[in-house]
Amino acid sequence: MVQINSDCNITAQICQQARLSRDARFDGQFFTGVLTTGIYCRSICPAPAPYEKNVRYFDSAIKAANAGLRPCLRCRPDSAPSSFAWLGTQTTLMRAIKLIEQGFLSGDNAGTVESLAQKLGISSRYLHKLFNQGMGTSPKRFALYQQLMFAKQLLHQTQLSMTEVAMAAGFNSIRRFNEFFKQQLLLTPSDLRQKSRGSTDDTHSYNDNQVRTYIKPITLALSYRPPLSWSKMLAFYAFRQVDNMEVIDDELGRYGRTFSFDGVDGFFYVSPNIDKPQLDVSIYLLDANDIKSLHHIVLQLRRMFDLDADMVVIRQALLPIITLGAQIDSGLRIPATGSVFEAACRAVLGQQVSVLQAT
């Protein structure tokens, strides 16, 4: 019998309204645990809504997992936008989570919990306390679950081999990957992929003659909380486009560019999905061994397009000037660059000359 306690900072009434209306603005802000099925879902889950008496709400996926629940195979919580609103002022915990997401505790050169604590300037005991209070679990277990969820996303959305999925998710051993996967989800990676083949794919591929055919694309869907004004963001990048580094297809509404993230080189194409609040991305790695850095690349892309912004909170902050008659351009995000160095170059040259001449 699954033991579940309500563990969410958003009121139950708001959560109920959001899940019954399948409100994408709350996607990733909370997860609905269903006692009768033993699974947890996103606010946008297409499955028939369970009775309120049979659900509990959680503000993070790991808390739902700690309660003995498994992620839904239909709405795929692994694809939900990230949300750190529940962290409040716990800056150290937020920094630790960011480092873990970047692979500090996984991969070939994985650090230890002690070295993570040292990097944060705290003791390992205090780090464990922060995670237990904020996440209800240990730093290592949190890291493993993040790896698992990313692996699940890759199994649903890509055709990568099991070995490639394990490597991309930060598992050094395919055996360890299979064991942890089955332990947490009660089915093997192969079983999950077989089940997902019968469902609708969230991504689409591009047939681009300019892309060399020997480079295999990795297609993924990056969800966000609406609204998002993609046309304004595309116009921002078009005005600052650098030849031979960036390409913009106005007809398809597609943006592409080369990248070099921490020594990993490649290029990507991104365009909005016309049916769902997500960006469809095709990533091309110049070195197949760089598959180990895929999660870091995905996080960089989410940062570049500001996909984890909470538009509801932003609008609430702007309400005082809206009531005074100000016109708000809904869906604006903060476009970012590929690196801090690139941002510095663009800023300095743009200020000294002009944006066009700097480009």
Q: How far is CA 332 from the centre of its chain?
A: 19
> Is the pLDDT confidence value at 198 over 80?
no
Beta strand 264-272 with 278-285: parallel, antiparallel or unpaired?
A: antiparallel
As given in the structure block, the two tokens for residue 270 are: 């991104």
Could you tell me if 58 and 165 lie in one domain? Answer: no
Residue 3 placed within a domain:
no
Determine the Cα–Cα distance for residues 278 and 270; give it in Å rounded to an integer. 10
163-180 pLDDT, tens per residue?
A: 999 999 999 889 999 999
Residue 7 placed within a domain:
no
- Tell me the CATH number at 276: 3.30.310.20
- Tell me the CATH number at 175: 1.10.10.60
Helix (H) / strand (E) containing 95? helix 91-101
Residue from 145, 300, 142, 289 nearest 220 by CA? 300
Q: Which residue has the tokens 């390409």?
A: 247
pLDDT-based confidence at residue 156 (cuts at 50, 70, 90): very high
Residue 237 placed within a domain:
yes
Handedness of CA 243, 247, 251, 253 (dihedral sign): negative
Residue 2 placed within a domain:
no
Q: Which domain holds residue 52?
A: 12-79
The domain total for the chain is: 3
Residue 345 placed within a domain:
yes
Q: How far is CA 96 from the centre of its chain?
A: 17
* Full-model pTM: 0.85
Determine the Cα–Cα distance for residues 220 and 222; give it in Å rounded to an integer. 6
4-39 pLDDT, tens per residue?
A: 445 777 889 999 999 999 999 999 999 999 999 999
Could you tell me if 229 and 332 lie in one domain? Answer: yes
Number of helical H runs and strand E runs in the chain? 14, 9
Residue from 68, 102, 155, 144 nearest 293 by CA? 102
Instruction: Kindly provide the b/e burial profile for residues 25-39, where b requires at least 16 CB atoms within 10 angstroms of the residue's own CB.
Output: bbbbbbbbbbbeeeb
Residue 209 placed within a domain:
no
Strand segments, DSSP code E, in the chain are: 31-34, 39-41, 55-58, 70-71, 217-223, 246-249, 254-261, 264-272, 278-285
At residue 236, what is the residue type? F
213-222 pLDDT, tens per residue?
A: 457 899 999 9
Could you tell me if 115 and 75 lie in one domain? Answer: no
Could you tell me if 169 and 145 lie in one domain? Answer: yes
